[in-house]
């Protein structure tokens, strides 16, 4: 690895560095700790971070912390929804998840960021947002067909024919 002059401060040299307290991001999660022994490129004067040949190994090294954080956030939100009165199975049906999916998240499966975000949003106002979600799915499915609505629709169809 060749050293080069820092483009931020134009004084320090950018070189591979190891050690504690370095963080990076993955997806939407920030402040993920880079393991001490993994080298990153940084300026020895101003500390500016650079993407280098080690980017793949940094991503690989940080992924377990990233996935653990997603699991923690998703499981925490799912637990809050269950405490608010939702059954885990009903929540899985509402979100189109397979049965037992949330139990697998609790025991180690990494959820997507999209699912994690959705669970967090639902858990912020469980009753209101679960009811909204139910209404949205009902509307997307053509709304609830009551006997009266069906009769009205059938009359309209007959009238149009
Ligand atoms: Zn610098």
**155: CA distance to ligand 1 center in Å?**
76
**14: CA distance to ligand 1 center in Å?**
7
**36: CA distance to ligand 1 center in Å?**
21
**142: CA distance to ligand 1 center in Å?**
59
**104: CA distance to ligand 1 center in Å?**
45
pLDDT at 138: 93
**17: CA distance to ligand 1 center in Å?**
13
With a cut of 90, say whether residue 140 has pLDDT above it: yes
**152: CA distance to ligand 1 center in Å?**
73
Q: Kindly list the structural domains of the chain, giving each domain's residue range(s) and its CATH number in brackets, ordered by start.
A: 4-124 (3.10.20.860)
Q: What are φ and ψ of residue 152, in 5° steps?
A: -65, -45
pLDDT at 156: 62
pTM, full prediction: 0.78
Closest CA to 133 of 102, 103, 99, 91: 91
**79: CA distance to ligand 1 center in Å?**
45
DSSP conformation class of 8: T
With a cut of 60, say whether residue 149 has pLDDT above it: yes
pLDDT band, residue 142 (cuts 50/70/90)? confident
Mean pLDDT of the 121-128 span: 97
With a cut of 60, say whether residue 144 has pLDDT above it: no
pLDDT at 71: 98
pLDDT digits (tens, 9 = 90+) for 18-66: 999 988 999 999 999 999 999 899 999 998 988 776 778 889 999 999 9
DSSP conformation class of 97: P
CA 60 to chain centre: 18
CA 7 to chain centre: 34
- Identify the three-state secondary structure at position 22: coil
The two tokens of residue 154 are 């059938």
């Amino acid at each position: 690895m060749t050293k080069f002059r820092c483009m931020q401060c134009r004084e320090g040299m950018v070189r591979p560095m190891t050690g504690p307290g370095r963080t990076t991001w993955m997806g939407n999660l920030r402040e993920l700790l880079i393991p001490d022994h993994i080298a990153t490129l940084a300026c020895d004067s101003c500390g500016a971070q650079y993407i280098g040949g080690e980017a793949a190994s940094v991503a690989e090294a940080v992924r377990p912390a990233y996935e653990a954080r997603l699991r923690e956030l998703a499981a925490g939100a799912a637990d809050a929804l269950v405490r608010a009165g939702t059954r885990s199975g009903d929540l899985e049906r509402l979100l189109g998840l397979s049965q037992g999916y949330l139990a697998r998240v609790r025991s180690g499966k990494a959820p997507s960021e999209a699912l994690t975000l959705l669970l967090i949003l639902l858990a912020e106002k469980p009753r209101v947002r679960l009811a909204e979600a139910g209404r949205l799915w009902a509307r997307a499915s053509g709304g609830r067909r009551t006997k009266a609505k069906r009769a009205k629709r059938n009359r309209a169809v007959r009238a149009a024919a």
